[in-house]
Structure 1
Amino acid sequence: MTDTSEKIRSLFLTALMVFSVFAGTIAFSGGAAAAANVSVEQAAEYDSGTVELALNGSTGSAVPRGNIDVYIDGNENPGNYNVSSVDGTDDGTTGRLAFSLAQDVQPNRNLTVKVTGLSGGDGTVVAQDIDVTSETISTSGSNDTDINAFRGEVIAINDSDADATNNGPSIEVDGDSVVLSDSYTDNSEVYTVDTSDLDTGEDYTISVDNTEEAVVTISDLSLEVNIDDDVGDGANIDDTDTLAVNVSTNRGGEPANATLFNEDDDKVDTIVKNLQGNSNVVFDFGNQSADDSPYYVEVTDNQTGVSAESDQINVSESDDGEASFETGTVQDELGDVANITVQMSNTEDAVINVGSQEDDNYYIQGQLTDEDGDGEVTVQFNSYTAGTNNNNTVLSVPGDDDLDDVEEGGSFNRGDLSDDALEAGSYSINVTAGTSPDVTSPDAVGTLRLNENSVESIKTWAAPSDAEIDDDDVDIYDRIGVNLTESDDLAAEDVVVHEIQASGIEGALEYEEEDGSASDATEAFITATDTTPDRINSSDTTDSGLRLYVNRTDVGANAEEQPIDFSNSSGAVTVVDDPDNNTYFVAVDTSDVAFENGNTIVSEEDTRLNATFSVREGPLTDDRNSDSAIYTTSERDATLNLDDSGVVTVSAAAGQEVTGTTNVAPGSELEVEMESESEANPFVLRPETDVAPDGTYTATADFSEYSAGTNFTVQTLDVDGSSDFSDEEDGRIVEADTATVSISDQESDGSEVVVDSAQLSEGGFIAIHAGNASGDVVGNSEYLEAGSHEDITITLDEPMDEDFTAVAMPHLDTNGNEAYDFPGADGPYTANGSAVTDSANVTVGTEEEPTATEEPTETETEPPATEEQTEEATTMDSGTEEAETTAAEGPGFTAAIALIALVAAALLAVRRDN
């Protein structure tokens, strides 16, 4: 390779380098700086790991090395950017301090150099805002000269062989000569090419002295700065709103500087954050004064130096802020959490006070911030923890809003939860807009009324053994009537749910969760509630004063009640709380709990239990509010319904129902197992079914493939087959019930239809479905005896007002009550596995009324006709064409009227003849 080629490669030693050097802002440290009398004479310079400071001193001595600290973006020696070597020179008045860093500083970082101990003393000089914008991609020693640059970056070429008279190499971009800028270095010249005016997606060739070439591909960083519209309308906000911008780029992970400038282009604040590819990063500058409006934000990507600006942001003075209470009086019970809603106008800050030193000997104060901008903040006051100086558990705000600077005071001070609690009564509340804690002139005042706690009731519900009571996807109230049934008689292994209506509980449960002792309502209830097997007059094991005792009472004479030992019944209790309605559902799985003597509910045939829940009326007192519920548990059982011969009878057809009753909880899933006793017709059927709210169950099976006369056995099991709890019964397949039905197209006024005929082997009903066999039942017949029936008129439940297809379907009377009970019972007659049906088109309309005729007008009796008149009438009756035409076209003319006219003419003729 020629010397010329080597030189050219040296010129590309830093062949994509965004390089700039800025004068630093110099700060001095009081008298120490004056003693040293040393300052930064010119720009601090950073290049490839070396920092040089040109210093000026009047001490006449060499520039001291001193102690050097390096800060990157305000952090001291981040990433071990420690000083590795120091050198100083001096010409009597000016010196240069140079030192190297252990590793290169990444581009576009803010470099600060602090030198202390100058002139042997403690003088300090600081060079700030040394922008590190150099990025070097070396091409020396390689033939790869393809370079990628983002539009807006600066391509730099360093001619390390340049001297004082060297004007630099000749450089062209795509054949066009360009003017290169040069930047100061001591022994080199740096020439730069700005890519701001180049086109993205294009390749550009840079040649040096027409000898070597580098191909640069220009990409678009897509750096965008948009005003955040979450507060105000973006470009127009007031001084109580947050000034923020959203920054996005198509390449993430690198830091960017966002700088806020005022109307005089003075820098107000700078924020450094890492960008995220193709998603917004919010740079929040907080509240800004209207005096310096308008503002704009300039964002610079640190790796490339590419910048973008926001639109102008106008800040105006806000109207005076106001704060008020949603309601002037807030009521709750002592021990609960009171919700106090503060409404804000023209402000996002307010100070709230609960209580007062003068009137209540207790107060708590907090600074509120409406972070979500909805104009209100709900403050939760926990009356259970009030006075403990555990501020975070007394006042809190839910959601995205904020609470700060909470201060609790007054002569009332509990110390801990076991001491005297806050008294029931009325407490003053006030609120003031702004951030000042001085609330001597509040915007609004109100009252917090804390009433005495109470236990209103406790009642029991039954739930299936596998019920998930605390399923977040299902509201517990939606379970009522499905798999939650009020009952005081439960089957062993089912879940008993104690519904407790009581106040004064919420605060203790919320405290346990906020304090970290509990992760959910169940753990909080168990932690806060005394459930130990101790009995009457026992001391509480918790500070809350809550007790739940469940004792077995049918223990016989002269024996103590046996309590359930919840401490040895892990996982047996589940709690669903509804504090807004002072309701708590405490579910106990009877298969998992044991009595104090070790016996389980399941091991006992029958038990009688008394569940008592109580709340201490006041602190340090044995007086309690309480209520109890008594319920029993029994061995799980089921009884199959048999026919008069004492067997379960089904037909050799589809849709056969086997029914029974059980004491297991409604909603439980059961299996009814039917096993053949015939080798010629072997089968085992296990249809599943749910227990209905009335304790009945119906299993449906298909016997159409089996022969009449086959015997089988029937038994009811839990759905998983784990246990059977009904007696085994005999079953028999009989000939299938048969039916036929016929219905014809017909006209109807919409209130009824007529079925032509039906043949029912076992009696039953004819149902009318609209549209098709799966359509709604719109009517049914009365009970029909077994046999043949014709012209069966069925009145529809509601008249039809348009034509429809009527599907007639015979139904059995499966429960024998001669009342149509489908779909609960009374399934349809079937043939070949399908319901027996026939259909017809019903035309709905009314009978045509006869055409209205003109009624004769009543006239006075005329005198007897004269001979002339008689002759005229006779002439008209003679059948002339004119007379016929008039008669045919007369209004309301009918055949009957024509006949009357003829008779009248005849009578006249007779009269004339006489």
Structure 2
Amino acid sequence: MTSNTDKLRAVFLTALMIGSVFAAGVAFTGGAAADATGVSATTVDREAGDTTTDVTVNYGAGNDSVAYVISADTSYDSGTDLYASSDSADGTSTTFSGVDVSSLDAGTYNVYAVANNTTSPTSEPAASEPTDGDDLTSWSNTDNTFDIQSPSDDTSFNDGGIVFQGQTASYDAEAADGDFGSQNGYTLYERTDSSTGAPVRELNEDSGWVNATTSGLDTGTTYFISNNGQNPSNADINFTIREQNFDVAFDGDETANDDTDIDVTFESTNRQNVRYNVTITSENLDDSELEEIFDDLSEDNSDFIASDIDVNDDDDDEDDGIALKLPSGGDVTAGANFSTIDAGEYEFSFEVSDTTASDTETLNVTEAAEANTEFIDVESVARGDVSTFNVSLTGTKTATLTIGTPSQGYQANVTVQDGNGDGYVAFDANTYKMAGKSINSNADLEPAFSVVNDDDSIEDVELANGQNIESPLDNGNYRTTVRSGPDANNTADDKSRLSITDNTGISGQNIWTAPGAIDKTEDVLDAATQDSSIVKGDYIVHEIQAQGIFGILADADSDLGAVISNGDLDLSTVQTDDSTQLNRNQKEINYSSGTTYETVSDAENNTLYIAVSTDNLNVTRNGDKVTDNPIDFGNDVFNTTVTLTESSDLVDENVSQSAEFSAEEIDHGLNQDTYNLTNAENQTITGYSNAAEGTDYNILVESTNTEGDGFIEPTNPATVDADGELSAEIDLSDASVGDEFEVVLEDPDADTADDASGTIVEEAPTQPTDSTTDEPTDTTTDEPTDTTTAEPTDTTTAESTTMEATDTTEDTDSSGGDIPGFTTGIALVAILGAALLALRE
């Protein structure tokens, strides 16, 4: 019989066993708290010359013996891995400073660490070195990684690339060769075939570099450097010897010693991607003169750098030539200047500094003609518009013009430069910006002048008189003079006058239209026809006749919105009263913002064009944007008024012109419901459209019932003509008599505009000339609307899929909680219950 004591003992042991299962994790965690808790090693940057790292081991208090291992993998190798230990650790971390890692290649390494407490009460053994082959993850308490960064590879050529004759092939062996430091020396080999190389010479290694001069090497031959034998597959690096192609040419055989430039071109067809130096010498020119000639190249291209240095390494930079650093690109040109050089013939030698490439050029320098400037033309202009000045320059590339005199109350000095050496400079003078309330300084005046040719330039602008003028320049004849050089006080070479006449302001406006499919504004104007009926998709083209507005537009870079906002020029497009719905205010098309348009100024013909896309109009009512049917095509009529305002100070009172255009509903279709055509070429199908003249449609013909393979003629352009008609010639020679077909008229968006049916007959009947006059209106009005309006709305509801998606996500929350099961609390309650039951019994 079992006693109560035995029962209680059994219950107690059972409880102890269960408790130990749940407490095991806690017991292990408590034991590990005293081990190494972290380890790190600093990055080694060999580019900066680093060869050591600092290893820091963190651990719990009480540990006094620590050790680390640096290894490329998880298995210990005493021959390559690094190990160190310390038995005098204190506190909670120990740093091993200056650990030498020079024996390790560049890469990412693991660092492992252990920490032990050799004192009471644990009395663990001191940290010790693992045995070869030990798993370091098992040996250690913690691990981390660190990088040994390799130095950048500064090899002077690419593997398999070109080394030019005369260069030295410099191989950065320390950075690039993983086998650097081995006992094998480096050798230069000539590649004889894919598996064999013939030794050429042994190469010295100096501070990590292996250099192979190209002296004695054959052009066109491939060589390789190796410290692993003569098999090319083991080569450290390969290269092929080439002769650099190099040519120098002046743009002409002679130049004058004035301040104009002559272009010089440096060309190398096989050395294009890097900059390189050229040494320039000439027997009759010293270094300072050479530098003056070629330093001018940097004005055209700042990447040209001329310098008087010690070219021949004799510790003396005198009379040994100059160095010119060329831009990359292979074919570079800039202007050289001989203004300080005596007349005579000069031979120039050009030698590439690091290769054997060279060239010579001869140039005859002539005495400069006496500098002279004169007016070719000064354009008369209406007040507020832009005048063009054209000046000729001889023996100089700089001229200064004076516009006006003190007695006229205005004087501006403008210095221009002939940048392309053609002897001419043309520039525009904006009479709207040359004077006025905001023009009080040289900086204010600068925007009034701009060169016509981008190669030329405005060098300086000076407002000598006219700071207090309150409006654009008055009408009148302004004396103009020109002289060479930058000094306005020099004697003038020529004189002329700027004639500013009275302007008419806005004198007329016409409405044109053009097909909406055209992208470029110039093409829109070419295709435009005078027509004030506009359908959706077409351009509205405002043709405005005016004087005095082109300076305003030029000042705003033709940004019409900015001009309108400024208030000098106004453009409003407002719905007419007759087309406005009852009890509604008129709509307005806002051209200052939100509407897509382009402007083209034809100042020569006093005409401004504004091309407006009807696909992107900012329509407002009472200042609010109209988003629902902004333009009611078939009803709306708009009046556009263009005004040159009195606030521009160009007119005494507002000057306006208006024009109307109507928004028409598109009306297009085929001229017949059925067609009888023959199986031949040039079968004509006609249609009509009120879209802009030049609008492109397409007519598609496809068989619907045929005994043969059937046919389709998908692309048959049909363009709207001046009478609103369109037609296409169809090749039906592949069809057979009796075949039935469908005709589809496609609009510019490739949508179906109309369709008809047809039959191939032996001979098409003659159609009465007036039989198709009224049919289009009767047969194409209602059907397209009935068949395409409501279907999308009926078939695209998404309620059911939305609700289902919401319902299916509820289970996610219910699946994330605890799963009922056997826990410590329940187990102990059961045990206590058993114990009480035992006592009761």
Task: Identify the TM-score tier after normalising by the shorter chain.
Answer: 0.5 to 0.7
Separation in 1, partners of 2:750, 2:334 = 62
The 8 Å contact of residues 427 and 447 in structure 1, kept in 2 or not, is answered as: yes
Counterpart among 460, 482, 488 of residue 511 in structure 2 = 460
**Pairs aligned (count):** 525
The 8 Å contact of residues 261 and 336 in structure 2, kept in 1 or not, is answered as: yes
For the structure 1 residues 224 and 723, does the alpha-carbon distance in structure 2 shift closer, same or farther, using more than 3 Å as the test?
closer
Deviation at 1:374, TM superposition (A): 1.9
The 8 Å contact of residues 238 and 290 in structure 1, kept in 2 or not, is answered as: yes
- Kindly provide the CA deviation profile for residues 861-885 of structure 1, in whole angstroms up to 9, marking residues without a partner as x: xxxxxxxxxxxxxxxxxxxxxxxxx
Separation in 2, partners of 1:489, 1:611 = 14
Counterpart among 365, 373, 389 of residue 315 in structure 1 = 365
Deviation at 1:386, TM superposition (A): 1.6
Separation in 2, partners of 1:225, 1:657 = 64
Report what 1:237 is aligned to: 256
The 8 Å contact of residues 253 and 362 in structure 2, kept in 1 or not, is answered as: no
For the structure 1 residues 685 and 141, does the alpha-carbon distance in structure 2 shift closer, same or farther, using more than 3 Å as the test?
closer
The 8 Å contact of residues 247 and 283 in structure 1, kept in 2 or not, is answered as: no
The yes-or-no answer on 1:448 pairing with 2:502 is no
Deviation at 1:318, TM superposition (A): 1.1
Report what 2:727 is aligned to: 698
**Structure possessing the higher radius of gyration over alpha carbons:** 1
Separation in 2, partners of 1:407, 1:588 = 38
Deviation at 1:664, TM superposition (A): 1.5
Separation in 1, partners of 2:155, 2:481 = 54
Report what 2:401 is aligned to: 352
Identity %: 21
Deviation at 1:317, TM superposition (A): 2.2
The 8 Å contact of residues 345 and 362 in structure 2, kept in 1 or not, is answered as: yes
SS of structure 2 residue aligned to 1:508 = helix
Report what 2:552 is aligned to: 508
The yes-or-no answer on 1:623 pairing with 2:653 is yes
Matches within 5 A, 1:130-209: 142-145=185-188, 201=219
Deviation at 1:402, TM superposition (A): 2.9
The 8 Å contact of residues 372 and 483 in structure 2, kept in 1 or not, is answered as: yes
- Kindly provide the CA deviation profile for residues 818-856 of structure 1, in whole angstroms up to 9, marking residues without a partner as x: xxxxxxxxxxxxxxxxxxxxxxxxxxxxxxxxxxxxxxx
The yes-or-no answer on 1:666 pairing with 2:693 is yes
Report what 1:638 is aligned to: 668
SS of structure 1 residue aligned to 2:638 = strand
Report what 2:232 is aligned to: none
Separation in 1, partners of 2:569, 2:658 = 17
Separation in 1, partners of 2:468, 2:573 = 28
Report what 2:28 is aligned to: none
The yes-or-no answer on 1:653 pairing with 2:679 is yes
Deviation at 1:640, TM superposition (A): 4.2
The 8 Å contact of residues 199 and 218 in structure 1, kept in 2 or not, is answered as: no
Report what 1:330 is aligned to: 379
Separation in 2, partners of 1:511, 1:307 = 52
- Kindly provide the CA deviation profile for residues 233-265 of structure 1, in whole angstroms up to 9, marking residues without a partner as x: 334533333256433444352431544657364
Report what 1:564 is aligned to: 589
Counterpart among 559, 562, 572 of residue 527 in structure 1 = 562
Any stretches of 5+ residues in structure 1 without a counterpart? 1-101, 108-132, 149-154, 161-192, 206-216, 514-520, 531-540, 739-761, 763-811, 818-914
More helix, by proportion? 2
Counterpart among 763, 777, 782 of residue 737 in structure 1 = 763
Separation in 1, partners of 2:289, 2:665 = 78
Deviation at 1:431, TM superposition (A): 0.8
TM-score, scaled relative to structure 1: 0.49
For the structure 1 residues 662 and 312, does the alpha-carbon distance in structure 2 shift closer, same or farther, using more than 3 Å as the test?
closer
Q: What one-letter code is carried by the residue in structure 2 that aligns with 1:565? A: N
Separation in 1, partners of 2:155, 2:289 = 25
For the structure 1 residues 428 and 590, does the alpha-carbon distance in structure 2 shift closer, same or farther, using more than 3 Å as the test?
same
The yes-or-no answer on 1:603 pairing with 2:638 is no
Deviation at 1:733, TM superposition (A): 3.8
For the structure 1 residues 262 and 285, does the alpha-carbon distance in structure 2 shift closer, same or farther, using more than 3 Å as the test?
farther
Report what 2:250 is aligned to: 228
Deviation at 1:350, TM superposition (A): 1.6
Report what 2:616 is aligned to: 592
The 8 Å contact of residues 514 and 525 in structure 2, kept in 1 or not, is answered as: no
The yes-or-no answer on 1:364 pairing with 2:409 is no
TM-score, scaled relative to structure 2: 0.53
Separation in 2, partners of 1:664, 1:405 = 51
For the structure 1 residues 285 and 490, does the alpha-carbon distance in structure 2 shift closer, same or farther, using more than 3 Å as the test?
closer
For the structure 1 residues 338 and 302, does the alpha-carbon distance in structure 2 shift closer, same or farther, using more than 3 Å as the test?
same
SS of structure 1 residue aligned to 2:617 = coil
Deviation at 1:398, TM superposition (A): 2.7
Q: What one-letter code is carried by the residue in structure 2 that aligns with 1:425? A: G
Separation in 1, partners of 2:422, 2:449 = 20
Worse overlay, 492-501 or 669-678: 669-678
Worse overlay, 421-430 or 292-301: 292-301
For the structure 1 residues 199 and 459, does the alpha-carbon distance in structure 2 shift closer, same or farther, using more than 3 Å as the test?
same
The 8 Å contact of residues 331 and 449 in structure 1, kept in 2 or not, is answered as: yes
Matches within 5 A, 1:677-692: 688-692=717-721
Deviation at 1:494, TM superposition (A): 2.2
For the structure 1 residues 602 and 736, does the alpha-carbon distance in structure 2 shift closer, same or farther, using more than 3 Å as the test?
farther
Separation in 1, partners of 2:687, 2:172 = 88
Any stretches of 5+ residues in structure 2 without a counterpart? 1-150, 157-166, 174-182, 192-200, 207-212, 224-238, 292-305, 307-322, 772-841
The 8 Å contact of residues 262 and 293 in structure 1, kept in 2 or not, is answered as: no
RMSD, matched Cα: 4.9
The 8 Å contact of residues 330 and 338 in structure 1, kept in 2 or not, is answered as: yes
Matches within 5 A, 1:92-103: none
For the structure 1 residues 310 and 625, does the alpha-carbon distance in structure 2 shift closer, same or farther, using more than 3 Å as the test?
farther
For the structure 1 residues 670 and 143, does the alpha-carbon distance in structure 2 shift closer, same or farther, using more than 3 Å as the test?
closer
SS of structure 1 residue aligned to 2:380 = strand
SS of structure 2 residue aligned to 1:596 = strand
Counterpart among 596, 601, 604 of residue 580 in structure 1 = 604
Report what 2:471 is aligned to: 420
Separation in 2, partners of 1:632, 1:278 = 57
Separation in 1, partners of 2:571, 2:634 = 28
Deviation at 1:636, TM superposition (A): 0.9
Deviation at 1:737, TM superposition (A): 1.7
The yes-or-no answer on 1:408 pairing with 2:462 is yes
Report what 2:14 is aligned to: none
The yes-or-no answer on 1:495 pairing with 2:524 is no
SS of structure 2 residue aligned to 1:390 = helix
Report what 2:749 is aligned to: 720
For the structure 1 residues 428 and 404, does the alpha-carbon distance in structure 2 shift closer, same or farther, using more than 3 Å as the test?
same
Deviation at 1:635, TM superposition (A): 1.0
SS of structure 2 residue aligned to 1:574 = strand
Separation in 1, partners of 2:285, 2:325 = 28
Separation in 1, partners of 2:547, 2:242 = 64
For the structure 1 residues 491 and 713, does the alpha-carbon distance in structure 2 shift closer, same or farther, using more than 3 Å as the test?
same
Q: What one-letter code is carried by the residue in structure 2 that aligns with 1:667? A: G
The 8 Å contact of residues 552 and 563 in structure 1, kept in 2 or not, is answered as: no
- Kindly provide the CA deviation profile for residues 711-763 of structure 1, in whole angstroms up to 9, marking residues without a partner as x: 98877552434464x6x7x756484327xxxxxxxxxxxxxxxxxxxxxxx6x
The 8 Å contact of residues 390 and 424 in structure 2, kept in 1 or not, is answered as: yes
- Kindly provide the CA deviation profile for residues 682-738 of structure 1, in whole angstroms up to 9, marking residues without a partner as x: 9998765221221012245567788888998877552434464x6x7x756484327
Separation in 2, partners of 1:564, 1:291 = 69
Separation in 1, partners of 2:545, 2:463 = 33
SS of structure 2 residue aligned to 1:526 = helix
Separation in 2, partners of 1:715, 1:135 = 72
Higher relative contact order (CA 8 A, sep 6+): 2
For the structure 1 residues 607 and 673, does the alpha-carbon distance in structure 2 shift closer, same or farther, using more than 3 Å as the test?
farther
Separation in 2, partners of 1:240, 1:690 = 59
- Kindly provide the CA deviation profile for residues 387-428 of structure 1, in whole angstroms up to 9, marking residues without a partner as x: 33334422221325433442231442379xxx6333233222
Report what 1:256 is aligned to: 277
Deviation at 1:275, TM superposition (A): 3.8
The 8 Å contact of residues 569 and 642 in structure 2, kept in 1 or not, is answered as: no
For the structure 1 residues 709 and 318, does the alpha-carbon distance in structure 2 shift closer, same or farther, using more than 3 Å as the test?
closer
Q: What one-letter code is carried by the residue in structure 2 that aligns with 1:525? A: L
Separation in 1, partners of 2:702, 2:172 = 86
The 8 Å contact of residues 572 and 641 in structure 2, kept in 1 or not, is answered as: yes
The yes-or-no answer on 1:613 pairing with 2:642 is yes
